[in-house]
Chain A
């Protein structure tokens, strides 16, 4: 219930066709917008499946009790979002993720699902090429537990917190990706990191795309709606990669404020519309920037927002290792390709989460109980590893390394990239990896030893960062969120492929995987 899904604000896409201007919406249109938004890197079979199932998924959540915002006739309301020309995004004010997450939490209570709260998974157990469980640390008392399982699902969210300036919850440290990588799985399309155009200056808390969907303007220091120079038709509602680059360009060319931010102006919407549609955003601006968006524009800058890359999965959530599944932001299906459309992440999570659950039940049914031998061996290994970490003398603090990591990722693997900077960044990452050997923990306490967890997370974050770095270096083109100033064009001949980063003998190796192109031929991407 404390997971980052709770922070999703704007909505969930489904071609319900409820709202004026969107009556003719179809799953095919939704699929096309998603594929075009992805800069044609999404796998079209998976996109088709997601968009076909979207209306049912939203209706199912409504039937579970979610209080969506409504039209006067009582049907679910929809709002326009980036990458679609009309209202398709179903919403619950600007607290859609909160409402969906709480609905699912309630369903889990009803189903009497046993939850091991505040356990930190330290490793996956792989034996005979299948996943037989995991090892996890109980934060409440510091004991380590082995879990033997017929099926394991990773649902750990994205890796946003390897970046400074992230909208993500502090817990989004990419643990699932790191676990998978260490267990011998590749990570897919890690170079595709979404920068959200509008995060609140100062804290980088998300200011939903809904703010622009409802009619907000972006203004530079000359009070100019600069988006007309970047996306003449779509303006503020161009996809996120395009708007984020536009803002960053305005700032870098001296038309921002304090060389740090631009303004998001909602004053023209009026108090009623803001209070009805964007009450959460209004409260966030008041709490964290001391500004009332009914009366004044608010300062925004691009910030890391979403991880398109992750553990490669099939459309039933299964990975390359039998018995191991992944869903949500930690997985890469891929339906988002090089750039995710707003309103598609909640959708991906519920559609593919549901499918993964069904597949796990199905595959587990026929299985007999397995030996716990492999789990016990993994448990012993992790006990030793944690013991080593706890007894190591501290000459380096976790947070000094973490700060350097985050700065490096934002500066060298951020909104704009080039080979020189990325190579320099990779050098810094290598150096950070050496420094981690000196990390020590100041406390050996067994209860809520968050310092121990932070040190364990850091190891994984450096691994994940390296896959982002090497994947970004290998892709010598610009596509979606991956914008290289030294290769400014998309190169379909050489790079209409997924990037797979494997860790072999301690080294990251990059190979490619074909993209599943389907009903939509690859074409130029203009808005």
Chain B
């Protein structure tokens, strides 16, 4: 079995696809395969992981063009097509890298995020949107000594949304996130909804109003890819639909037309909410003397090792991809960011 993996080297800006032969064993996941490659074939390959049990949300990548947790995606199921998801096409992604579905599995970084290195993407923007919803429980005044009461039925409703692991798969699958760089995205809005429906919070309009601006509830076009790709079964589209109904907007019914083009919706007039506290800017730690880690920071990268074990397809010459947008790149870069990995605060 061959993993075709998108490589990005930030020191040269070069993009290429490497092919790795992986000896398959039953139950092997995409993460197992990536670890095998890193440990045995090419230790320059970078990707995130932690729990390997589909609970920490670290390892979301694009597998055959679908955002998935690498750790719960089995190679067998992908190859045999028993685990397929039909996503609504995302016109913002641009040209797609071809691959041979008969013997290749295509692994790429999540779209709609900046790529930092190989499969590692920059989550700053995603987390800024999450922070912008002020995801902090507003306890009522005069707390009792004991727990606040909460009906089991309310728990059942809340659980649907507290199950979110903030992996970013929904953000990567959402065409609106691709075209509107300011859209808060499905995960943040689902978390906002989680607090809005919590009966223990003060029952005012604040949470609903927080999302009622052009980049919040109204921006969703109900592609519903978010619900489809969520590894935890969270349905952000339903949350957003419910919020929209509160403002007399369209319901959660899919609004897409036959051409796959989303129907135009009238953005709901933003309700003035309490001003959000500004997110603190990145600042250097005054007490932190910093130096380059010797040669580590400047030495040119060695070519991938183990050439005898994997054939390396150089799909474009090194150092030739500074100009964005890169046609090979499944990720739509933000204007003004050439993949340098600079955080791009929302």
Residues of A within 8 A of B (CB): 1-4, 6-7, 58-59, 62-65, 67-76, 92-93, 95, 98-99, 102-103, 106-107, 109-110, 112, 114, 116, 133, 137, 140-149, 169-171, 202-203, 205-206, 280, 283-284, 287-288, 290, 372, 375-376, 379, 383-384, 386-387, 390-391, 397-399, 441-452, 454
CA distance A4 to B11 in the complex (A): 32
Is the beta-carbon distance between B50 and A2 smaller than 8 angstroms?
A: yes
Q: Contacts of B294 on A, CB cut-off 8 Å?
A: 383-384, 386-387, 390
As a 0/1 sequence over residues 279 to 307 of chain B, the CB contacts with chain A under 8 angstroms (1 = contact) are 01000010111111111111111100100
Return the contact of B159 from the options A6, A67, A74, A146 (Cβ within 8 A).
Answer: A67
Question: Is the pair B295, A444 in contact by a Cβ cutoff of 8 Å?
Answer: yes
B296, A146: Cβ atoms closer than 8 Å: no
Residue in A closest to B232 when the chains form the complex, CB atoms: A283
B297 touches A141 (CB 8 A): yes
B84 contacts chain A at the CB level, 8 A cutoff: no
Assess the B152–A72 pair: CB atoms within 8 A. yes
28 contacts between A and B (CB under 8 A): A1-B57, A2-B58, A59-B147, A63-B137, A63-B148, A65-B136, A92-B162, A106-B137, A109-B136, A110-B136, A112-B280, A141-B297, A143-B293, A145-B289, A145-B290, A146-B290, A170-B52, A386-B296, A390-B294, A398-B39, A399-B40, A442-B43, A442-B302, A444-B295, A444-B296, A446-B297, A447-B11, A450-B43
Q: Which of B138-146, B176-184, B214-222, B325-333 contacts A (4 or more CB under 8 A)?
A: B138-146
For A6, the chain B residues whose CB sits under 8 A away are 51, 55-56, 165
Q: Say yes or no: A448 contacts B46, CB within 8 Å.
A: yes
CA distance A444 to B145 in the complex (A): 56
Is there an interface contact between B116 and A372, defined as CB atoms closer than 8 Å?
no
Other-chain residue from B27, B54, B162, B289 in contact with A102 (beta carbon distance below 8 A): B162
Contact A448 B291 (CB under 8 A): no
On chain B, the residues within 8 Å of A62 by CB distance are 147-148
Q: Provided the pairs A143-B292, A450-B46 are in contact, do residues A287 and B54 lie with their beta carbons within 8 angstroms?
A: yes
Which residues, 129 to 164 on B, are CB-close (under 8 Å) to A? 130-131, 134-137, 139, 143, 145-152, 155, 158-159, 162-163
Nearest neighbor of B233 in chain A, beta-carbon distance? A283
Provided the pairs A143-B293, A387-B293, A448-B120 are in contact, do residues A74 and B163 lie with their beta carbons within 8 angstroms?
no
Q: What is the chain B residue whose CB lies nearest that of A61?
A: B147
Given A74-B151, A446-B296: A95 in contact with B163 (beta carbons within 8 A):
yes
Contact partner of B291 (CB less than 8 A), chosen from A69, A147, A383, A442, is A383
Chain A residues lying within 8 Å of B49, measured Cβ to Cβ, are: 170
Chain A, residue nearest B280 (CB): A112
Residue of B46, B147, B162, B287 most packed against chain A (CB within 10 A) = B147
B263-322: which have CB < 8 Å to A?
280, 285, 287-302, 305
B285 touches A442 (CB 8 A): no
Partner of A386, one of B40, B51, B293: B293
Contact partners of B296 in chain A: CB under 8 A = 142, 386-387, 390, 444, 446, 449, 452
- A2, A145, A148, A391: the one within 8 Å of B56 (CB): A2
Bound complex: CA A444 to CA B53 (Å): 30
With a cutoff of 8 Å between Cβ atoms, the chain A residues found around residue B42 in the complex are 442
Q: Would A147 and B285 be within 8 Å (CB), given that A2-B50, A93-B159, A442-B43 are in contact? A: yes
A-B contact count (CB 8 A): 228
Chain B residue nearest to A383 (CB atoms) is B294
CA distance A488 to B38 in the complex (A): 43
Q: Which residues of A contact B301 (CB under 8 A)?
A: 443-445
Considering the chains assembled together, what is the distance between the CA atoms of A390 and B302 in angstroms?
12
Q: Is the CB of B54 within 8 A of A443?
A: no
Interface mask (B59-78 → A, CB under 8 Å = 1, otherwise 0): 00000000000001000000
How far apart are the CA atoms of A147 and B288 in the complex, in Å?
5
Closest residue of chain A to B118, judged by CB?
A448
The residue that A288 contacts in the complex, of B27, B40, B139, with Cβ under 8 A, is B27
Chain B residues near A112: list those with CB within 8 A.
Answer: 280
Contact A442 B149 (CB under 8 A): no
Nearest chain A CB to B344's CB is how many angstroms away? Answer: 14
Are B287 and A7 touching (Cβ within 8 A)? no
Distance in angstroms from A96 CB to nearest chain B CB is: 11
Q: Does B104 contact A (CB under 8 A)?
A: no
Known: A98-B165, A451-B38, A452-B296. A63 touches B139 (CB 8 A): yes
Pairwise interchain contact A443-B293, C-beta atoms closer than 8 A: no
B21 interface residue per 8 A CB criterion: no
B249: A residues at CB distance < 8 A: none
**Interface: B10 (CB within 8 A):** yes
Write the nearest CB–CB distance from B179 to chain A, whole angstroms: 27
B44 engages A70 (CB within 8 Å) = no
User: Interface centre among A68, A146, A170, A447, by most B CB within 10 Å?
Assistant: A447
The smallest beta-carbon distance between B82 and chain A, in angstroms, is 11
Q: Name the A residues within 8 Å of B195 (CB-CB).
A: 65
* Nearest-CB residue, chain B, relative to A110: B136
**B44:A442 contact, CB within 8 angstroms:** yes
Minimum CB–CB distance from B32 to chain A (whole Å) comes to: 9
Q: 9 closest A-B pairs (Cβ-Cβ)?
A: A65-B137, A74-B149, A110-B136, A451-B43, A448-B46, A443-B44, A387-B294, A399-B39, A148-B287
Q: Which of B42, B54, B198 has the most chain A CB atoms closer than 10 A to its own CB? A: B54
Q: Is the CB of A442 within 8 A of B58?
A: no
Q: Are A98 and B55 in contact (CB under 8 A)?
A: yes
Pairwise interchain contact A170-B72, C-beta atoms closer than 8 A: no
Is residue B117 within 8 Å, beta carbon to beta carbon, of the partner chain? Answer: yes
Q: Indicate if the CB atoms of B155 and A70 lie closer than 8 Å.
A: yes
**A73 vs B292: C-alpha distance in the bound complex, in angstroms?**
59
CA distance A441 to B43 in the complex (A): 8
Q: Is the CB of A70 within 8 A of B150?
A: yes
CB distance from B223 to the nearest CB of A (A): 25
- Chain B residues contacting A444 (CB-CB under 8 Å) are 295-296, 299-302
Contact A107 B136 (CB under 8 A): yes
A49, chain B: closest CB distance, angstroms:
19
B168 to chain A, nearest CB (A): 12
